[in-house]
Structure 1
Amino acid sequence: MLEAAYNLFVKILSLSAMASVLALLILATRFLFKNRLKPTWTYLLWIPLIVRLAVPWTPESAFSIFNLFPLETESAQTFYIPSAQPDVGPVSGMNIQEVDSTKVAEITGTGTSKQAERPDSMTPVTQGIYDPFETSNTGWTPMHLLVLIWLSGAVVMISLSVREQLRFTARVRREPEIRSADILWLFETCQREMKVRRPVKLVETKQTAVPTLLGVMRPKLLLPTSMLHTLEANELRHIFLHELAHVKRRDISLNLLTGLLLALHWFNPLLWYAVSQMKRDQEVACDALALKHLASGHHKDYARTLLKLLETLTDPIRVAGAAGISSSKKEMKRRITMITRHKKITAQNTVLGLTVIMVLSGCTLTGAKLSSTSAPEKSVVIPSASQTKDSTAIDPKGTLLAEKNGITVTAKPTAEHALLHEVTVDVRGEVNRTFLWNAGEDETRPPSIEEADLNGDGTKEIFIRITTGTGTGLSMSEIHVLQPVTLEELVVEDPVKTLNRRVKSSITHRNNHTYVSAELDGKHLTKVYDYTEGAWGEKIGFGAVVSYELDGDRIVARLAGAASISEFPLEVIVVYGKELTIESVQMYYGSFISPPLSEQDIKSLLEKKLTASGWTFGKKGDQYTINFMDPPNGVGEGLSYKINPLTGTVHDTTSGSPVRSLVNREAIDLWDISNGTEYKKELYKLLQPIFDTEGFEPIDEDWISGFIGDGYLFSNVRQGSRELTIKVDVFTGQWEEIADPYK
């Protein structure tokens, strides 16, 4: 068994060394031809590397680069021991020389007379052939340990990859398929355009922050829940075209093979780097294939869609059997540049790409010619005529982004920075000023221009909101407040820095669960996830998703709190005062719909859960009401419920007991439970994660001391040495300490 492992290990070392040479050549080629090879051909450069790693045998060739420095090992080897004695027994502590199989005839004297002339000191070992796994009296040899270390590393790498794949697949398996006729029609249209005949399921999920293709035999396209409610049809089309490009190119199969090969070569850092570059080229190649199916006028729209999806990412998806629109922020500029310069592939591009790949394959997918004593001739590829860089004429006045009440906003891209623009604000031709702002030229989301007295000085300031991108489907924007006479920009307190300082939070992992606890001004939110995998932070962070709006003369900001790149357990609404500083903050449960819920939000959600008739909707105080006209069993009055717009919890009008959540789709539904004992049992299940996270212990035998009347219940608990009363929304995990209502 160990001998077989040793032979495999030797071959792996040989292949790894040859693949390292090829990887360096590919990286050098990418650098030399970076402005001349199209993305498709740049990606195809990596195919010879996969072949080199996967195929252990190569034909001999005088053209092979390995004639210069042979790295291959022969499978048939004979080991010799320098000795003056004809009979050799077991050997230890001796200098052992290895002679390849082409020298056997020379040593044994079975070849020509010239071959028979050999040093007398070289005696062939017959009964005493050297075994690299022969143990001495002291135990295992270093070769034993080296092989076992390699084998253990490979097994661990493969096991972790399979475990992660199975866990992710299991979580996704529970997610619902998308049934929207409009989305399905759009996806089928994209399939026909891309000529993808394989069936691909559309699945709505919260397990990933970006659209992700999963699976080889029965692929699924995973779409984040929030994205379905916010992205427009043209943006979904961009996503579909990109993901179908992965299907068409069979990238997932290649990624799985690459992952397996990388597990066998886990000790080689150069190959890890090469594969990471290959996957970046894979994404760019899919962008190029998607752009082939878009009119040139829509290429910038595609780039904006990418920016929206990539701005919040800190790390790509780590599942070998998946492919998504993922990239590091360092790669964003390269991808955007490719998109803006995209042109159709010409015959010249094809010839150049084929030539480069054939030369690389010819000199690296062949082995050294063992009988040859002369070095192979060097082949030099002469580059074609110098490339003329594309240049786009830019209007010196800039592009008009928005206009309202005589105020115009125009923008010109800067040569120094891909995202920053020179933005000029002109007020009715009387005064203008140019700023260096992050401003995308998105016709579908132009800047918003408003005039309002934001600082209470009696003069209406100019309020400009510019959409800069989105993350996980939620619009991100920046605001600028200008003094109307001088256009001086006023300082607005940064909500990101403020919330990162004021929100106290923790993220811990135990028993295969992740526990998130957050507190803001005495209001708490607790959430428990049933998995620990992923790029979790140590605490809640803000800054990935920020949006602004104007409510009368006040600025309102909404910020999502991120626990990981895909989980946003809470949202904070920030209201500004007249000093343009933060006046109030309110923390809410993070959901697919922004809090607090409006009347239209609640009606829409109820219509999806209830029958079309038999109930009425209204409002009483700060709560909304549902009244069922038909009483149960035909006796008495119909049932009546209230909805708390701050939590989205539906509760009984009479008792105040919670029965259903409109915002937490994963919560237990208590709507149809009529048995009091069973109802209390389910409430305990909802309370348990909160108690576990916060270290609460119920003081009384009955955890629930009563219901407050707005969907909250209250409980007397002990936390360490403290005894306190808390009111809790069991569906969203929002809670706070209160005075005992009975005292």
Structure 2
Amino acid sequence: MFHPLWNSYLSSIFDWVIETSILASVLVGFILCIKIVLKNWLTPRWKYALWLILIVRLILPWLPESSFSIYSILSKGYESSQFFIQENTSIWHVKENIHEPKTSISTQKITKEVPTGGKNNNWNLSVYNILLLFWILGVLVSVFFMILINRRLYIYVGKQPAITEKRVLDIFEKCKKDMLIKKDISLSLSGKISSPTLFGIRNPRILLDENHVKYLNDNQLRYIFYHELSHFKRKDIIINLLMHCLLILNWFNPILWYAYYAMREDQEIACDNLALTFINPEEKIAYGQTIITLLEQYSTYYRTPTLANFSRNKAILKRRIIMIKKFNKNSYRWSAVGLATILGLSTLSLVNINAEETSYKKNIVEQPKKEVEQPKKEVEQPKEI
């Protein structure tokens, strides 16, 4: 009953996940290299856009083949290893042929050279099944905890009272109007949740700590709202949730988990970049000081993809402050370097390795034929003598 499903669906999904995970890991390396090489040329939103290519790479089940691909290095490395294996295999067969009597019947030699390997095949099959079961178990456990944590979070947020202070609501509506946001977004107290933060997809709300409502001045609240509304305008929660779902399928790959962490940090800087376009240039320092003040009182009670909240990482905080100081409104416009980088990386990464490059497969198929035909010549030579 379970066996047909195992072979037809689970195995094919598992194979696709493994292949996609390997290729995506290569793409992560290229993205990190691009960010280093073009550090001073790419603005924060272009650096963040690079990670969107990774998400597309992980989602698409099929991609066209191309000879011009960043994954060609894998095919060449694999081809070299196959060539090495073929060379050693052919040497082993030559030595075996030398020690064999020339007049021996070729069928015995063929039997030795092409072993059935029933036990080995069964062993390999069992190892594959174990890995498949282990992967399924990891996916189920990850899904269980994700549902459990988010369910608890939604219940907890639903119990928090709404913010009704007129001063705060007026500032919030003014920020929404400035950013051309018409969606109904509510304000609530955060309780123990890390705040300020944007929460939810269908019915989004911004969560604020009670102390923030009481003690932050109008400008500080304005900076916070611009930042959190930037998360909403950029659809960051949807992207985070999508990436987290992909990580559940690729839970075994630490490179992709690091990529998710790096993407979240670039996301915060990109939101700072957008928020700064709505404040006066002379307010940049005050915006940065507000972020530092918030992080000093920051709590990490909840960290889920349905929350777009701050990070306390000191290195990232330093990057954010430097970006804020250097920010120029003109830099937020479309960049030729950024656009060319995104298009170039998309062209080279959203393709698969061309099957024609893997010509070693033909050699593997033809190699046994030559080995089978060789004994026939050895048997025919005594007849000519």
The TM-score, its normalising length taken from structure 2, stands at 0.78
3-state SS in 2 of match to 1:196? coil
Q: CA offset at residue 314 of structure 1?
A: 7.1
> Equivalents in 2 of 1:347, 1:192: separation in Å?
20
> Which of 319, 339, 363 is 1:334 aligned to?
319
Amino acid of the residue matched to residue 195 of structure 2? V
Pairing 1:168–2:194 present: no
* Map of 1:495 onto structure 2: none
3-state SS in 1 of match to 2:203? coil
Please list, as runs of the form range in 1=range in 2, the aligned pairs for 1:692-703 lying within 5 A after superposition.
Answer: none
Provide, for residues 423-465 of structure 1, a one-character-per-residue CA deviation record: whole Å limited to 9, x for no partner: xxxxxxxxxxxxxxxxxxxxxxxxxxxxxxxxxxxxxxxxxxx
> Equivalents in 2 of 1:184, 1:235: separation in Å?
14
> Which of 92, 107, 120 is 2:118 aligned to?
92
Is contact 1:202-1:223 (8 Å) kept? yes
* Map of 1:37 onto structure 2: 42
Q: How many residues align?
A: 321
Q: CA offset at residue 315 of structure 1?
A: 4.9
Is contact 1:317-1:324 (8 Å) kept? no
> Which of 16, 19, 28 is 1:14 aligned to?
19
Pairing 1:322–2:327 present: no
> Equivalents in 2 of 1:283, 1:169: separation in Å?
23
> Which of 125, 149, 168 is 1:183 aligned to?
168
> Equivalents in 1 of 2:354, 2:242: separation in Å?
29
Over 3 Å counting, the alpha-carbon distance change for 1:345 and 1:53 in structure 2 is farther
Q: In percent, how many aligned pairs have the same letter?
A: 36
3-state SS in 2 of match to 1:208? coil
> Which of 268, 287, 292 is 2:277 aligned to?
292
Is contact 1:61-1:368 (8 Å) kept? yes
Q: CA offset at residue 212 of structure 1?
A: 1.1
Over 3 Å counting, the alpha-carbon distance change for 1:230 and 1:348 in structure 2 is closer
Q: CA offset at residue 318 of structure 1?
A: 1.5
> Equivalents in 2 of 1:217, 1:70: separation in Å?
44
Is contact 1:178-1:203 (8 Å) kept? yes
Provide, for residues 561-583 of structure 1, a one-character-per-residue CA deviation record: whole Å limited to 9, x for no partner: xxxxxxxxxxxxxxxxxxxxxxx
> Which of 110, 130, 134 is 1:149 aligned to?
134
Tell me how large the CA RMSD over aligned residues is: 2.6
> Equivalents in 1 of 2:270, 2:231: separation in Å?
9
3-state SS in 1 of match to 2:335? helix
Amino acid of the residue matched to residue 142 of structure 2? M
* Map of 2:92 onto structure 1: none
* Map of 1:307 onto structure 2: 292
Is contact 1:315-1:328 (8 Å) kept? no
Please list, as runs of the form range in 1=range in 2, the aligned pairs for 1:575-594 lying within 5 A after superposition.
Answer: none
> Equivalents in 1 of 2:128, 2:348: separation in Å?
32
Is contact 2:43-2:331 (8 Å) kept? no
The TM-score, its normalising length taken from structure 1, stands at 0.41
Is contact 1:196-1:247 (8 Å) kept? no
3-state SS in 2 of match to 1:203? strand
Over 3 Å counting, the alpha-carbon distance change for 1:147 and 1:321 in structure 2 is same
> Equivalents in 1 of 2:275, 2:25: separation in Å?
32
* Map of 2:339 onto structure 1: 354
* Map of 2:6 onto structure 1: 2
Over 3 Å counting, the alpha-carbon distance change for 1:152 and 1:322 in structure 2 is same
> Which of 49, 58, 62 is 2:67 aligned to?
62
Is contact 2:48-2:266 (8 Å) kept? yes
Q: Rg larger in 1 or in 2?
A: 1
* Map of 2:224 onto structure 1: 239
Relative to its length, the structure with more strand (as a share) is 1
Over 3 Å counting, the alpha-carbon distance change for 1:347 and 1:160 in structure 2 is closer
> Which of 251, 265, 268 is 1:280 aligned to?
265
Is contact 2:223-2:275 (8 Å) kept? yes
Is contact 2:26-2:71 (8 Å) kept? no
> Equivalents in 1 of 2:332, 2:294: separation in Å?
34
Please list, as runs of the form range in 1=range in 2, the aligned pairs for 1:392-471 lying within 5 A after superposition.
Answer: none
Over 3 Å counting, the alpha-carbon distance change for 1:25 and 1:314 in structure 2 is farther
> Equivalents in 2 of 1:56, 1:331: separation in Å?
34
> Equivalents in 1 of 2:39, 2:154: separation in Å?
37
Q: CA offset at residue 327 of structure 1?
A: 3.6
Is contact 1:161-1:320 (8 Å) kept? no
Is contact 1:213-1:221 (8 Å) kept? yes
> Equivalents in 1 of 2:13, 2:239: separation in Å?
23
* Map of 2:103 onto structure 1: none
3-state SS in 2 of match to 1:192? helix
Q: CA offset at residue 272 of structure 1?
A: 0.7
Pairing 1:196–2:201 present: no
Pairing 1:343–2:303 present: no
Pairing 1:46–2:51 present: yes
Is contact 1:243-1:325 (8 Å) kept? no
Over 3 Å counting, the alpha-carbon distance change for 1:271 and 1:186 in structure 2 is same
Q: CA offset at residue 330 of structure 1?
A: 2.4
Provide, for residues 576-629 of structure 1, a one-character-per-residue CA deviation record: whole Å limited to 9, x for no partner: xxxxxxxxxxxxxxxxxxxxxxxxxxxxxxxxxxxxxxxxxxxxxxxxxxxxxx
3-state SS in 1 of match to 2:356? coil
Amino acid of the residue matched to residue 162 of structure 1? I
Is contact 1:65-1:364 (8 Å) kept? yes
Q: Which has the higher contact order (CA 8 A, sep 6+)?
A: 2
Over 3 Å counting, the alpha-carbon distance change for 1:29 and 1:233 in structure 2 is same
Q: CA offset at residue 349 of structure 1?
A: 6.0
> Equivalents in 1 of 2:285, 2:260: separation in Å?
29
Q: CA offset at residue 257 of structure 1?
A: 0.3
> Equivalents in 2 of 1:348, 1:288: separation in Å?
11
Q: CA offset at residue 372 of structure 1?
A: 5.0
Q: CA offset at residue 373 of structure 1?
A: 7.4
3-state SS in 1 of match to 2:208? strand
3-state SS in 2 of match to 1:213? strand
Q: CA offset at residue 70 of structure 1?
A: 3.4
Please list, as runs of the form range in 1=range in 2, the aligned pairs for 1:70-81 lying within 5 A after superposition.
Answer: 70=75
> Equivalents in 1 of 2:73, 2:128: separation in Å?
28
Q: CA offset at residue 265 of structure 1?
A: 0.6
Q: CA offset at residue 359 of structure 1?
A: 1.2
Amino acid of the residue matched to residue 126 of structure 2? T
> Equivalents in 1 of 2:47, 2:186: separation in Å?
30
> Equivalents in 1 of 2:71, 2:330: separation in Å?
33
3-state SS in 2 of match to 1:65? coil
Pairing 1:225–2:210 present: yes
Amino acid of the residue matched to residue 16 of structure 2? K
Provide, for residues 173-206 of structure 1, a one-character-per-residue CA deviation record: whole Å limited to 9, x for no partner: 0111111122111101100111112111101131
Over 3 Å counting, the alpha-carbon distance change for 1:332 and 1:268 in structure 2 is same
3-state SS in 1 of match to 2:138? helix
> Equivalents in 1 of 2:327, 2:302: separation in Å?
27
Please list, as runs of the form range in 1=range in 2, the aligned pairs for 1:509-588 lying within 5 A after superposition.
Answer: none
3-state SS in 2 of match to 1:69? helix
Q: CA offset at residue 140 of structure 1?
A: 7.7
